[in-house]
Amino acid sequence: MSYNSTGTIITRLTVKYQVTCAAQCANQFTNCNTAVFDSLTIPQCSLYSESVTPANLTVSMNTIVYDFQQSKLPATPSLYRWNTTGITVAGASNGSGGTSANLLYEPYGTALGSFNSLYIADFNNNRIQKWMINESNGTTVAGLSNGTAGASSIALTLPVSVVLDSNDNMYFTDRDNHRVVYWANGASSGTTIAGILGVSGSTNNTFYGPCGIARDSSTGTLYIADTFNHRIMQYLMNASSGTVVAGGNGPGTGVTQVSQPYGFTFDSSSNSLLIANYPNNNIVRWVLGAISWTLVIGGPNGLSGSTSTLLNNPVGITLDPRGNIYVADSGNHRIQFFVAGQSNGTTVAGVTGSPGIRQSQLNYPYWVIIDDQLNLYVSDTYNNRVQFFSHS
């Protein structure tokens, strides 16, 4: 297919999905204004610096044009479908928990590393496991491999969330040691970089049970869910103390409060945090520098439920390149997908209100992440496994 263009083509790429083509334009090339995806050609993705239109006004269903200047976007739901049968990629498929290398014990946060590696905060085993995709065993990369808890440069107590930098160095929350740890790739010990080992508190240099963590890769700034202090802290690179950027006004349902924030994500496009208010059963957006949040998903005043617009104890949350939201709706045993700007969700993994061990079921899923092909990795926490749901 040919195109009329008022601008210059930047590059052509071979990608699998339309949304990946759009994401390349939106996030990787600052001078890109239009992405054209055509599944009948190779390479399928063409990026332009200006608006383009098909030379022939009849556009095939295989061709989608993303015009970022005019905001002409395709209908989103057609791009987002997942296999509802999961594949166990870490832990035992039958739900068995344990300390051996092929088992997990209530996994929480996950992160994707290089060379098809998956990093898992193996919560009740007090360790971080590195699991190569398609392998049957994991390797302990932080903490003690036998699952023993501790408070030292080599031992952890209930780690919750892990993020990686471009070199697979780890930053993770060590919840019951009330700290954040930096652990270099391949190192045998870690360093406390936020909080005080074994000391809980509510000052700007202490935490009380930190859980979620996010990192701004462009600045090295860390955002840390100080869960039982009901706040999110910001730590600039190499800072010894932090700043409250969300909450800090005690637990509650008010617009200046957050309540037990476990998971959250940093949205660089809006310079904001999307926060899972666990007991309040909602997702709120807190723009950095603001004094209050706005409701994004869920009911008012802590209302819980299992409909498409309600949540029940949400824990983990992530975004894709188009700003769509994925929520680990733990109490409903499902992963909910919300198109950007919409509060009516779709269940894309698990069965609402039906915990179980089948590959189509989840049992209190606590975390969800996506890869660059929009495949889902779900911490099926009470089934002691991580499930993979392929994008179709």
| pLDDT tens for each residue of 130-161 | 999 889 999 999 999 999 999 999 999 999 99
Mean pLDDT of 191-219: 97
Two structure tokens written together for 312: 């029940």
Which residue ranges form the domains of the chain, and what is each CATH number?
77-389 (2.120.10.30)
The answer to whether 243 and 234 have CB atoms below 8 angstroms apart is yes
Q: Has residue 10 got a pLDDT over 90?
A: no
Please state whether the peptide bond connecting residue 355 to the residue before it is cis, i.e. omega within 30 degrees of 0. Answer: no
Which 3 state secondary structure label does DSSP give 202? coil
Q: Has residue 72 got a pLDDT over 70?
A: no
Query: Chain-wide mean pLDDT for the chain?
Result: 89
Two structure tokens written together for 140: 């302990």
- What pLDDT is attached to residue 4? 42
Give whole-number Cα distances, 152 to 148, 181, 192, 197, 277, in Å: 12, 11, 9, 8, 31
> What does pTM read for this prediction?
0.82
- What pLDDT is attached to residue 75? 41
Which 3 state secondary structure label does DSSP give 302? helix
- What pLDDT is attached to residue 299? 92
Cα angle at 41 between 39 and 46, to 5 degrees? 85
The residue with tokens 């939106």 is 26
Distance CA 124, CA 108 (A): 9
Query: Hey, what amino acid is at 335?
Result: I
Q: Has residue 5 got a pLDDT over 60?
A: no
List, in sequence order, the alpha helices (H) in the chain.
18-23
Residues in Cβ contact with 300 at an 8 Å cutoff, skipping those fewer than 6 apart: 253
Which 3 state secondary structure label does DSSP give 23? helix
HSE-CB for 148 with a 13 A CA cutoff: 7
Reported as type and span, the H/E element at residue 46 is strand 45-48
- What pLDDT is attached to residue 151? 98
Residue 69 — very low, low, confident or very high, per pLDDT cuts 50/70/90? very low
Mean pLDDT of 358-383: 97
- What pLDDT is attached to residue 68? 37
In DSSP terms, which residues pair with 11 in a beta bridge? 47
**Of 48-52, 107-111, 115-119, 338-342, the least confident:** 48-52
- What pLDDT is attached to residue 59? 32
Residue 52 — very low, low, confident or very high, per pLDDT cuts 50/70/90? low
Please give the torsion angle defined by the CA atoms of residues 269, 272, 278 and 282, in that order, rounded to the nearest 10 degrees.
Answer: -70
Query: Hey, what amino acid is at 262?
Result: Y
Q: Which regions of 85-229 does DSSP assign to beta strands (E)?
A: 87-91, 107-113, 117-122, 127-132, 139-143, 159-164, 170-174, 179-183, 191-195, 213-215, 222-226
- What pLDDT is attached to residue 19? 59
**Of 9-13, 85-89, 119-123, 314-318, the least confident:** 9-13
Residue 7 — very low, low, confident or very high, per pLDDT cuts 50/70/90? low
